[in-house]
Structure 1
Amino acid sequence: MKFERDDGTSSTELGWWVFAAALAVVLVTSLDSYLGWFVFGLFLYYVARPISRWLQERGVPSGIATILTLALIILPFIALLAAIAVIAFGQLSAVRAADVERLVRTLFPGFDFGTIPTTPERLYDSVSELLTNPSIRSFLFRIRGFVGTFAAQSYNLFLTLIFVFFLVRDEATMTGWFRRTVADEETSTYRYLQAVDQGLNSVFFGYTLTIFVIIVLSAVIYNLLNLVAPPSMVIPQTMLVAVATGLATIVPLVGRSIVYFFVVAYLAIVAFETDPVRLWFPILLLLIMEIAFDNVVRTYIRPVLSGRLFPTSLIVFAYLLGPPIFGWYGIFLGPFIMVVVVQFLWVVFPTLSWPGSPESNDG
């Protein structure tokens, strides 16, 4: 690695490393509460980067290309994610209302729910109190917690978008500075960070975006099928089923099919108990999802989006263990940690195990 020294002495270099470590500790401690938004910003960066590069290759300046990408792609994408989350939690509360608050507190450990009615009973009590005491003071007291929380999270999202903007716009400048100042293309440090970049692109732009696309498409299909469903034969909780379909995509071979099977089995049981003629609907659902939808996923969505850089088993554990361990941002931080560790084992660890190898002598 290439680091400039003042006088070439080892004591000076050691002093600068101590100072750098102290700066890192201060930075990590100060920004700890923003870790979730940081990894979410990294995810948005890897979603926006290929689109911005595509625009720049066609002559659009980097700043304008970044603004267009954020305005036309990233902001609608965030709004779609928020809508999916709200609808999914709403449908979940209809199934297991008592568990919704516990689940939300697990995924959002720092979120203030004290003044927000998260159950029908608390919502009824809040509305009743406002009706019996319809004063401005009572109304402001009720909404101040929600407004404060909403404003804080909106500010965090605004910071995240600014972070993504500068990452996408100035990526070439930052890469050039890194090559000139820290490590050039011949060093193992550069190769490792390049491998991490490729891995994050494979996971974030590949697997994660594939999951979200499948969630959206399957939700549209389920709701369209419900429009032609016989009475009492609608697909229940379509958004929850769509989320399960998307998450099951990371399980190889049989992931989505398990979701289809349970929905079809449920509808078939309802048809047998009411009118066997209605079996046409679960059969239609099975044909559309197993033949048409799955072929679209395998032929178009996966080849275009999904990366094949890591073993599927690692991807499965990264996505499934991330949210329970870290909260809502674990779906991004879990894969991030997996990429950093695996690429270290693949790129750097062999050079440490065999110091005499050519790769271990290039810095």
Structure 2
Amino acid sequence: MGRGREPDGNRTVGRGGADPARTVSLASLLDRDRNRAAWWLYIGFLGLGVAFLGYSFLGTFVFGVFVYYASRPVFGRVRSRLGRDGASAAVTLLGFVVPVLLIVGYVLAAGLRDVASLSGVGPDEYVQLLSPFVNLGALGEGQRDALATLLNQPGRLRSLPFDRLRSLLTSGLAVLGSAINALVHVTLAFGLAFFLLRDGDSVAEWFRRNVAPPDSAGHAYAKAVDDDLETVFFGNVVFVFTMAVLAAVIYYGFNLVAPDPLGIPFPVLLALLTGITSLIPLVVSKLVYIPLVIYLGTVAFRTGGVALVFPVGLLVVSFLVLDILPQTFLQPYISGRQIHTGIMMFAYLLGPLLFGWYGFFLLPLFAVLVLQAVRIVLTDLLHGDRLTSAVDAAPSLGGDPPGESTGADGGE
């Protein structure tokens, strides 16, 4: 009888051979790992490109983020009426953000004018105030003089010789190029804000599904940062702007009724300082209007008569409108949940000194990122504990994630 063939199920591997199934499995695993490694390498290069673009347009990016958070509460109300995200985002940006930015630009320009008068800047040097916003470094001395003439005495243009007019035209084109460049960056920032408003819910849903589930530390951190940025960029900025406008109305109204010796000097500049100091808890606007009242009271005392009525009236109105009103109504209504105002005040003031104009938006954003990382993540990392969504440090310095005021456990 011939030797029977072993059943397939009991077939053994030949001497020195390898299991074909295991070989195929190992080969496919190696191919998969090489494929994933190649994809991670490719995505890493893409990430470097995105980081380079973000660094190159950092001011545009942080300004766009500011516009998004500053307009999001208004966008929510508009969307509740219109029902369409795209139309609501466009209406919010064009109907709310653009008018507010125009008013802010006018107020800042008036403040710069007061600073120029206070520092004794003459007409020939007035053009230098534009240097933070347009590139005037490439202009020659003659071009700067011609531009100063255009700004201060436009009627003299008819008497200028042809060479000066040509110089003026060259300088005007340079300034126009800088203005167009600034307009392009503003347009890009508005485009970023528009897409964030329109597609924000989709991005948030993708983040919850693929990056950080709702019970994780990552989700709690992102939600706390998101809420605090809305407070910082909408609540605090709108509050400062509102206080500055109220102060400007009071100071200009006082100048209308007070006699000439008691006029308030540099009312726009003092109104801006009043708005900024309103972020300081308890002190609010006292740092500005009390020294101002003391100064006017000294002038009124020297003048004699009924002049003392005016400083006393200014003190009463300022105390009611710039002190009691913001603490009891405006700040709770506008700002809502409070992040530490002292940290934000330093961030607003130091940001432009460190980074230029966009530091006003960048440093508060960075401060919120650091603050929430310390509150939610750092303690667990230092102690080697499991990352949770609980607030473990500095509970009074920032907003809590929803439902986390007492600290709920969550997974990593």
TM-score interval, smaller chain: 0.7 to 0.9
Shift of 1:185: 1.5
In the alignment, the residues of structure 1 paired with residue 181 and residue 140 of structure 2 have an alpha-carbon distance, to the nearest angstrom, of 15
Contact 1:42 1:164 in 2 (8 A): yes
The 3 A distance-change label for structure 1 pair 192 and 277 is same
Counterpart contact for 2:147–2:172, Cα < 8 Å: no
Q: Give the alignment partner of residue 195 of structure 1, picking from 224, 230, 234.
A: 224
Q: Name which of structure 1's ranges 95-104 and 53-62 shifts more when overlaid on structure 2.
A: 95-104
260-269 vs 125-134, which moves further: 125-134
Q: Bigger relative contact order, structure 1 or 2, given CA contacts below 8 A and separation 6+? A: 1
Separation of aligned partners in 1, 2:99 and 2:85: 20
CA drift of 1:122 comes to: 6.9
Match status 1:160 vs 2:185: no
Give 2:85's aligned residue: 62
Contact 1:212 1:246 in 2 (8 A): yes
Cα RMSD, aligned residues only: 3.1
2:62 aligned partner? 39
Shift in alpha-carbon separation, 1:176–1:69, aligned structure 2, 3 A: same
Structural mapping, 1:118-197, within 5 Å: 123-124=148-149, 131-134=159-162, 137-197=166-226
* SS at 2:244 equivalent: helix
| Post-superposition CA distance 1:261-284 (Å, at most 9, x none) | 121122122222333421111111
| Deviates most, 152-161 or 15-24 | 15-24
What's 1:351 paired with? Answer: 380
- Report how far residue 86 of structure 1 moved: 0.8
Q: Which residue of 1 aligns with 2:303?
A: 274
Structure 1: gaps spanning 5 or more residues: 1-5
CA contact (8 A) 1:203 1:307 kept: no
Deviation at 1:19?
Answer: 4.0
How many angstroms apart in 1 are the aligned matches of 2:244 and 2:307?
A: 27
Comparing 156-165 and 128-137, the one that deviates more: 128-137
Give the stretch that moved more between structures: 167-176 or 314-323: 314-323
**Percent identical:** 31
Structure 2: where are the runs of 5+ without partners? 1-27, 390-409
Q: Is residue 218–residue 242 contact of structure 1 (8 Å, CA) maintained in 2?
A: yes
TM value normalised by structure 1:
0.87
Q: Within 1, Cα distance between the matches of 2:198 and 2:50?
A: 23
Structure 1 stretch displaced more, 306-315 or 205-214: 306-315
Say which of 55, 59, 73 aligns to 2:96.
73
Q: Give the C-alpha shift of residue 46 in structure 1.
A: 1.1
Q: Is the 8 A contact 2:274 2:288 kept in 1?
A: yes
Q: Is the counterpart of residue 299 in structure 1 residue 328 in structure 2?
A: yes
Asked if structure 2 preserves the Cα contact closer than 8 Å seen for 1:207 and 1:307, the reply is no
Q: 1:17 to 1:269 in 2, by over 3 A?
A: farther
Alignment of 1:12-31 (within 5 A): 16-31=39-54
Equivalent residues of 1:264, 1:286 under 8 A apart: yes
The amino acid across from 1:362 in the alignment is: G
Describe how 1:72-111 pairs up with structure 2 within 5 A.
Answer: 72-98=95-121, 111=135
Q: How does 1:331-350 map to 2 (within 5 A)?
A: 331-350=360-379
CA contact (8 A) 1:46 1:200 kept: yes
The Cα offsets for residues 80-103 of structure 1, whole Å up to 9 and x where unpaired, read as: 111111111111111114598888
CA shift digits 1:299-353 (9 cap, x unpaired): 2210112244433332232222212111122222121111000111111212312
Q: 1:116 to 1:47 in 2, by over 3 A?
A: farther
Matched AA of 1:326? F
2:86 & 2:298 partners in 1: Cα distance?
57
Q: Distance in 1 between matches of 2:144 and 2:308?
A: 37
1:95-149 CA deviation, whole Å, 9 max, x = no partner? 11459888876x66x8445449999997249966873225764442231111111
Contact 1:115 1:146 in 2 (8 A): no
Which amino acid counterpart does residue 92 of structure 2 have in structure 1?
T
Q: Does the 8 A contact of 1:130 with 1:138 survive in 2?
A: no
Normalised by the length of structure 2, the TM-score is 0.77
Report what 2:268 is aligned to: 239
CA contact (8 A) 2:217 2:387 kept: no
Alignment of 1:214-293 (within 5 A): 214-293=243-322
The aligned counterpart of 2:3 is none
Greater shift, 292-301 or 81-90, is seen at 292-301
1:3 — aligned with what?
none
2:159 maps to a residue whose letter is: L
> 2:150 & 2:129 partners in 1: Cα distance?
22
- Comparing 310-319 and 189-198, the one that deviates more: 310-319
Count of residues in correspondence between the two structures:
356
2:237 equivalent to 1:208: yes
CA distance in 2, matches of 1:10, 1:350: 35
